[in-house]
């Protein structure tokens, strides 16, 4: 069955996400698929497309490197937490160089990693991405560590507490 917006609108399971991934892999067009569906204004289409893409290997996702800024824009603009989390997951798996540092995105990550109203998955992805961006500049790393130390840790879920502790102890390694 061909991938269409109508098909992606349907709620589907983990198995459905695997099917989407396998079809995109067979077509060998991760970038074209992402451009066609990931930025769709219907959050169900975007969510399903992103979910399928999360099944891809890092090598396959590297095709999306050229739309990194569009993915970052989507994260900062979407109101849908599933689209935000899945897009952050994709961004976290892409390379991020010093030239890719966007202060608006860094500010966004700082804000959402400490927000108690945010979902833990989004908090941890924002924390990882903030860490990666801050590794390019010691003064930013100092600011990140000050922010992490100032967190009222009792209000956070175990995943957030654990990642915070790893970053503060120097146990988190830079991905790229």
Positive or negative: CA dihedral 85, 90, 92, 93: positive
The answer on 42 and 68 residing in a single domain is yes
Mean pLDDT of 73-85: 97
Asked if residue 139 has pLDDT above 90, the reply is yes
- φ, ψ (nearest 5 deg) of residue 156: -110, 155
Same domain? 57 vs 2:
yes
State the chain's mean pLDDT as an integer. Answer: 94
DSSP 98: G
How confident is the model over 83-110, as a mean pLDDT?
95
Would the pLDDT of 61 be above 50?
yes
Is the predicted pLDDT of residue 11 greater than 80, yes or no? no
pLDDT band at 176 (very low <50, low <70, confident <90, very high): very low
Domain that holds residue 77: 1-95
State the pLDDT at residue 170. Answer: 85
Cα 125 from Cα 154, distance rounded (Å): 19
CA end-to-end distance (rounded Å), the chain: 37
Residue at which a domain ends, from 28, 62, 95: 95
In a shared domain, residues 8 and 29: yes
* Residue 69 shares a structural domain with residue 121: no
Interval 16-25 mean pLDDT: 94
38: its two tokens: 């990931």
Q: State percent of the chain over pLDDT 90.
A: 88
CA atoms within 13 A on the CB side of 30: 22
Could you say which of 95, 121, 141 is where a domain stops? 95
Quote the pTM value: 0.93
According to the model, what pLDDT value does residue 157 have? 95
């Amino acid at each position: 069955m061909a991938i269409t917006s109508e098909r992606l609108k349907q709620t589907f399971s983990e198995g459905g996400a695997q099917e989407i991934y396998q079809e995109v892999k067979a077509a060998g067009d991760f970038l074209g698929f992402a451009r066609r569906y990931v930025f769709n204004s219907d959050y169900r289409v975007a969510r399903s497309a992103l979910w399928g893409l999360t099944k891809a290997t890092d090598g396959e996702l590297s095709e999306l490197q050229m739309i990194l800024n569009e993915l970052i824009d989507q994260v900062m603009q979407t109101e849908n937490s599933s689209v935000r989390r899945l897009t952050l997951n994709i961004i976290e798996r892409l390379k991020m160089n010093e030239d890719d540092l966007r202060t608006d995105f860094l500010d966004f990550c700082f804000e959402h990693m400490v927000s108690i109203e945010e979902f833990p998955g989004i908090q941890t992805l924002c924390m990882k991405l903030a860490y990666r961006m801050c590794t390019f500049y010691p003064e930013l790393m100092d600011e990140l560590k000050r922010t992490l130390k100032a967190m009222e840790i009792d209000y956070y879920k175990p995943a957030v507490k654990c990642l915070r502790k790893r970053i503060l102890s120097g146990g988190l390694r830079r991905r790229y």
